[in-house]
Amino acid sequence: MRLSKEEVKHIALLSRLSLTEEEVEMFQEQLSDILTFVEKLNELDTEGIDPKFQIIPAENVLREDIPGISFSYEKTFMNAPETDGKHFIVPKVVKK
Amino acid sequence: MELINRSLKELSNLMAKKEIKPSELTEELLKRIEATEEKLNAYITINEKALEEAKEKDEELVKLSEDEIPDLFGIPLSIKDNINVEGQKMTCASKMLKDFVAPYDATVIKKLREKGAIFAGKNNLDEFAMGSSTETSYFGVTHNPWDLERVPGGSSGGSAAAVAARSAIASLGSDTGGSIRQPCSLCGVVGMKPTYGRVSRYGLTAFASSLDQIGPITKNVEDNAFLLSLIAGIDAKDATSAKLPVPDYTKALDNDIKGLKAGLPKEYFIEGIEPEVKERIMEAVKHLESLGVEIEEISLPHTSYAVETYYIIAPAEASSNLGRFDGVRYTYRAENYTDLVDMYCKTRAEGFGNEVKRRIMIGTYTLSAGYYDAYYLKAQKVRTLIYQDFQKAFEKVNFIVTPVSPTTAFKIGEKVGDPIKMYLSDIFTIALNLAGLPGLSMPCGFDSKGLPVGVQLIGKAFDEETLYAVGYKLEKALNINNLPQL
């Protein structure tokens, strides 16, 4: 599988990563190699095989709906890069 | 430097008899860390309050009667820096989280804290646990205590190096594709990747959620069993933790192993494995035979597809899990940006290293519309085949013996520019994570360069007891001195 530069740029945007031109070239090479590497799986016929997402039987885990104590404001915002102590502050989203 | 060479179990016993004081042990450990860190770089953060906490525990100890003293009272442990310890930094070895302070304790930490443990420091790792050499850490590479020019393995390389160098008494790591077992093998210490669901993942920074599992890294098998008993069990905060009682793994050490059957999978002794690694494994097998274990050749036919399967599933889950690092909640945000999307893109571009970016992009690609069936779903189906291989094998044998890593510790920089070469370092460990099974990695000798070689014992789901029973007796039979000169 060979990715084009345009495809790498598109994947980077979907991944929310801005890349320099040099990085685009480097990842074009490396991502293409990895995708070629994993193509080996196509050797296997998996028709009719159920996908195994994990070994523990998946089941709904429910708990009683009891109100508890949540994080304080202080704890919630202690790691935020920009906050007024009660909100996370982000760049303006809605345009005029 | 007497106490730090002792095992966790011995220290626990000495503490229970009040023959040592928490501050005495902590002070000695901190001195050892200070003396070795310049060479090793096994820690990202040292808990500056550790000695103060130990002194408080000194006073408590006086008031406790001997049978009231909890198992880990006053014992300083170190923790891989992707597990939350309240009030301490938790960086995941990433610039993205370099200033992040954990607001709560992971469940494993809560359990150890209740047993009286002190958390002395946070160990270095590959960034977000992605790597096989601890070279992708934002805080610099950790060095292997057996040869400082070599890697300690990854991603729990800081934990394994510290335990080997006795700058940690024991540590907790995490294992997604071999990240506990492979560094333990390269550093000559003991590590367990428990069955998926055996230990709560609450408070572990998620990398690939269906594969991740926390486990103990220790000087010997007994310590490992002891520590796993303390951290295992169901947790309401982790919906994937198993509803099963936790055995006393230290009791399992004495279980009889005569007559057990061990499988030797032919696919694990392939070309590319260093001859000396194979020799040491076969010597360990001989020891097992002399202990009364029957050896049988088995086949795990889909072994050679495990790495490829992993490199679809793990990045897919990682790309989703790492979506939360967006510059809004978790410490790092780029300085100059034009709008929200630009802020996300620049924050993530500046905050993540190349290995993390590579995996996020691979995951984004394989999960994207049009490719999901061809990559992600295909990989999950191959995962079923790998799981079925093990199921069939365990109809015939009680456990499986394999190498941990195809090579001993490699040189720093040797594989870092070639992702696929690096990915193949985990060729013998990855299949277990895909199948959810437990694996014990323990030293079984050295190569001619004096570097440790590890053997892996693979068990049935939730049968860690057999692995500990076998490992304990094998360790005694091998009688290896696993103390590096440093």
B80 is catalytic: yes
CA distance, residue B35 to nearest chain A CA (Å)? 32
Q: Mean pLDDT per segment of 10 residues, for chain B of length 486 residues?
A: 92 97 98 98 98 98 95 98 98 98 98 98 98 97 98 98 98 98 98 97 97 98 98 94 95 98 94 93 98 98 96 97 97 96 97 97 95 95 96 98 97 90 90 97 98 98 98 98 92
CB-based contact B435 A55, cutoff 8 Å: yes
Smallest CA-to-CA distance from B174 within B136, B126, B112, B221 is with B126
CB-based contact A11 B364, cutoff 8 Å: yes
CB-based contact B309 A41, cutoff 8 Å: yes
Structure tokens at B252: 């399992």
Q: At A74, which helix (H) or strand (E)?
A: helix A73-77
CB-based contact B379 A16, cutoff 8 Å: no
> What's the pLDDT at B1?
52
- Residue B265: strand pairing partners: B298
All residues of chain A having their beta carbon less than 8 Å from the beta carbon of residue B364 are 11, 14-15
B179 is catalytic: yes
B155 is catalytic: yes
Structure tokens at B88: 């301490």
Task: Give residue-wise pLDDT tens across range A50-75.
Answer: 998 777 776 777 888 999 888 999 99
ipTM, 2 decimals?
A: 0.95
Q: Of B133, B159, B179, B185, which residue is the catalytic one?
A: B179
Question: Rounded mean pLDDT of A73-83?
Answer: 96
Best mutation target, A1, A25, A29, A30, to test chain B (most B CBs within 10 A): A30
Between A12, A42, A93, which is nearest B340 by CB? A93
CB-based contact A27 B361, cutoff 8 Å: yes
> What's the pLDDT at B274?
95
